[in-house]
Amino acid sequence: MVRPDYERGSIVNLMSSLLKGMGGEPLYRPLPDLDEKRLFGSKNVVLLILDGIGYRYVKRKGKNTVLHDNLHSKITSVYPSSTASAIPTFYTGLAPQQHGVTGWYTLIKELGVVSTILPFQPRFGDKSLSEFDIEIESVLSSESLMNQISRKCYNVTMDKLKDSQFNSFYERGFEHCSYSSLKGLFQVLEHLLMPQEEKKFIRAYWNGFDTVAHDEGVNSASASRLFFDLDDLLKKFVENVKGTDSTLIVTSDHGFIDSEKERAIKLEEHPELQKCLSLPLCGDHRTVFCYVHPSRSDRFEEYWEDHLMDFCELHKSEELIEKDYFGLFEANSQLYHRIGDYTLIMKENYVFRDELKNEEGKFMVGNHGGTSEDEMYVPLCVLEL
């Protein structure tokens, strides 16, 4: 098990380094070995987030690639090691302890609904909560760190995400740029690094690898081909923007493990466990938040001990807060509602599935959200251009 290192070695601390290096005052400590003075002096600071490309994947697959050759260090993701939990960290510089987003499925207690938080929809449907006159500002509380940076700020993301309410909430203060292909991403970045007088901070995000890893597995041939396609384009980009006085920082939100259908624990096959629950399971398939009837908590623990302890760890969720899994310092008031009464952390490559009546039940080969080294460690690559 790997726990996030919020003291000196996580993506939270990376964002603290970036914030301090561009004139802000971070809540968390900066990384000890990233030169903030160099960041301050760079004309352009580029943060490239490659969704799903973990540190151990780069070490295994990436010999002679740009990422492997420019590895600065390995750092941890946040907990859970999920896109939904990590992306707000890249926007706010805060851990889930403060921003309060704890997984793909998140209980919004104040609305009485389990949501898919990134598309900002109730889990049971495909309509945005905004169509019910729910403002996302009433659910997401932490502000973007951009209001502390005295640079021109750009956000570069895929066409299909440029108008998402989740991103738009955090992107206030950014100028928006979008792309439709991986090649297009680097074309946009190259254009933004053309010489101008103003200093810039550019945040760019790509999720193509994450999509393939979910569908076909992180160890699939398709994922490998895409990784090397990325490397080819990244090499050309680095060559083309040399001399622009830029610092390029490349990292990820999480890594991946592959699972198999035989390793999927299905809630429907455990009716006695279902009787203990007051809500659908929340979180992700590798970190599962359980809302348990108070009168059934003893039975819930007994059932885990009798039937599930070989597949997952059981924790009281509040104890994970006390042990700093979600972050340091004062917690968001909604955090306690969003992590349930108990947390199941899956062992090895097991996943836990809970499907509502309206859900198709597609099995994802690649998964993340847990505490394995493959999921928790992400690369930190630094290139001076």
51-105: per-residue pLDDT in tens?
999 999 999 998 999 999 999 999 999 999 999 999 999 999 999 999 999 999 9
What does the buried/exposed string (b/e) look like for 344-358 if buried means 16 or more CB atoms within 10 Å of the residue's CB?
bbbbeebbbbbeeee
Tokens describing residue 91: 């926007």
210-261: per-residue pLDDT in tens?
999 999 999 999 999 999 999 999 999 999 999 999 999 999 999 999 999 9
What's the pTM? 0.94
Domain boundaries, the chain: 11-99+136-258+371-384, 261-367
Angle separating helix axes 182-192 and 221-240, nearest 10 degrees: 20
pLDDT value for 208: 96
pLDDT value for 171: 78
24 neighbors 149 (Cβ within 8 angstroms): yes
Separation of alpha carbons 3 and 377, rounded Å? 10
Angle separating helix axes 208-216 and 221-240, nearest 10 degrees: 170
pLDDT value for 107: 92
Angle separating helix axes 11-21 and 83-92, nearest 10 degrees: 20
Note the residue count of the chain.
385
pLDDT value for 150: 83
Percent of the chain with pLDDT over 70: 99
Per-block average pLDDT, block size 10, for the chain (385 residues)? Answer: 95 95 92 88 95 97 94 96 95 94 91 84 80 80 76 90 77 85 96 88 96 96 97 96 94 97 94 95 96 96 97 97 96 93 97 81 90 98 94
The third-level CATH classification (topology) of the domain covering 261-367 is Gyrase A; domain 2 (3.30.1360)
Scanning 263-316, the segments in alpha helix (DSSP H) are: 271-274, 297-303
Distances (CA, A) of 301 to 273, 288, 340: 10, 15, 14
Classify residue 120 as left (phi > 0), alpha (psi -120 to 50) or beta.
left
Tokens describing residue 320: 């994970």
Q: The domain at 11-99+136-258+371-384 falls in which architecture?
A: 3-Layer(aba) Sandwich (3.40)
Contacts of 177 (CB under 8 A, 6+ apart): 154, 155, 156, 157, 188, 192
282 neighbors 317 (Cβ within 8 angstroms): no
Query: Which of these, 38, 7, 30, 2, lies nearest to 247 by C-alpha position?
Result: 38
Separation of alpha carbons 64 and 262, rounded Å? 36
Separation of alpha carbons 283 and 5, rounded Å? 21
